[in-house]
Amino acid sequence: MKNIRIGTRDSQLAMWQAEWVKHQLELLYPHLSFELVPMKTKGDKILDVPLAKIGDKGLFTKELEHGLLSNQLDMAIHSLKDLPTILPQGLDICAFCEREEPRDVFLSKSGTLLEELPEGALVGTSSLRRKSQLKHYRPDLRFTDLRGNLQTRWRKLQESEMDGIVLAAAGVKRLGWEERITQILAEDIMLSAVGQGSIAVEIAEDRNDIRDLLAHLNHPETEKAVCAERALMRRLEGGCQVPIGALGQNKSGEIHLKAMVASLDGNRLLKAQGKGTDPEKVGVEVAGQLLSLGAAEILAEIR
């Protein structure tokens, strides 16, 4: 193989993640050469509309997937949480890289903890999942939409009246911003997005040469945890823009899965959990619990 082309979005976080994968591959295969191919996706271009309103599946992935199918790329690097649970025909995730901290973090302007924010404080987030869980926890909070890459969101926090923002710990850590974190949000207050914190490598399914190269990057524990989360999401037919949170964890040989579905006003918040050795089964089983509690009605109202 001559030059192996690695597709990525061009945001600073996406580039960090793709560089990380490239570096791992260079360590494993010093005789091969790898090249990053940065691309813009629709989700990078439309910045003034909340994602839930654009409502497209694969908003951050489609252009990269096109590159794989047309053989302009040999692999594409994604934040797993941006990848729909059903991939386009002919594509496959061949590595789930070791998960970084999966939870969300709160960054406040003054360093005030979430529970200590004054009544009516303004929080920046466009995520329905984050908003509905925060409303449930603190019905007095107010919200303002906040999109763009992490740099943009941090800058807007500084320049606006917002009191705080919620981000994925993984992204914040990868950019080296740990000292900006006010607190990690406990999972009983804020369940993170399906797949959050794991980097996924996607390929065209007939590229067995590339699949073999990437086998070493797959992290089996991460794979089990995120497969349970993705099975749950698939069963609930949720895209990334619905208020569904889930966290799979490996504990003594089993997958423990916690999940929640919430209404947009935060008034109804359903929780369920389960465990087992087969990730797919655990995901479907916990999704079934949520459906029997009324998740389908909540999700139907939102769609």
Ligand X SMILES: NCc1[nH]cc(CCC(=O)O)c1CC(=O)O
Task: State in angstroms the smallest separation of the CB of 116 from ligand X.
Answer: 22
Task: State in angstroms the smallest separation of the CB of 82 from ligand X.
Answer: 5
CA gap 303, 22 in Å, rounded: 39
Which DSSP symbol is given to 186? P
Question: Residue 166 corresponds to which amino acid?
Answer: V
Give whole-number Cα distances, 223 to 117, 143, 230, in Å.
37, 34, 10
Alpha helices in the chain (DSSP H): 12-28, 42-45, 51-54, 62-69, 128-137, 150-159, 169-174, 208-214, 220-236, 279-293, 295-302
Which DSSP symbol is given to 88? P
- Is the four-CA dihedral 130, 42, 213, 30 of positive or negative sign? negative
Measuring CA to CA, which residue among 231, 202, 284 is closest to residue 18? 202
- Rule CB under 6 A: which residues touch ligand X? 79, 81-82, 167-168, 170-171, 196-197
Measured from the CB atom, the residue of 153 and 256 that comes closer to ligand X is 153
3-state secondary structure of 206: coil
Task: State in angstroms the smallest separation of the CB of 170 from ligand X.
Answer: 4
Measured from the CB atom, the residue of 173 and 268 that comes closer to ligand X is 173
Measured from the CB atom, the residue of 79 and 108 that comes closer to ligand X is 79
Task: State in angstroms the smallest separation of the CB of 52 from ligand X.
Answer: 12
Measured from the CB atom, the residue of 243 and 274 that comes closer to ligand X is 243
Catalytic residue selected from 44, 48, 82, 206: 82
The yes-or-no answer on residue 82 being catalytic is yes
Catalytic residue ranges? 82
